[in-house]
């Protein structure tokens, strides 16, 4: 999941740079529609990356709760293991 999040973040960054370039070209008479497509693509890629990152965080939190419960069950201190 981490690789997917990083990949989507990099894709969003590329889309953002292209959208910026399209936006600059709009000033010089370029297509507004092309700029909006690239900006929307960047926005959607960032939203997907954030969604996956939050899902990954929730999964990690569940795993940590199970780990702590097992440590407490077997009387093992987990304070230094985090």
User: What is the number of alpha carbons within 13 Å of residue 74 lying toward its C-beta?
Assistant: 8
Q: What pTM does this model have?
A: 0.65
Residue 82: the pLDDT is 54
What is the full per-residue pLDDT of the chain (82 aa) written as tens digits? 678 888 888 888 898 899 999 889 888 888 899 989 999 998 998 899 888 888 888 888 888 889 888 888 888 887 766 5
User: What is the number of alpha carbons within 13 Å of residue 80 lying toward its C-beta?
Assistant: 2
């Amino acid at each position: 999941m981490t690789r997917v999040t990083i990949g989507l973040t990099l894709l969003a960054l590329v889309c953002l740079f292209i959208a910026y370039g399209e936006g600059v070209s709009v000033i010089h008479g370029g297509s507004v529609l092309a700029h909006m497509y690239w900006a929307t693509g960047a926005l959607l890629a960032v939203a997907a990356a954030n969604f996956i990152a939050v899902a990954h965080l929730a999964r990690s939190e569940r795993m940590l709760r199970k780990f702590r419960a097992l440590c407490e069950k077997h009387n093992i201190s987990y304070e230094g293991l985090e």
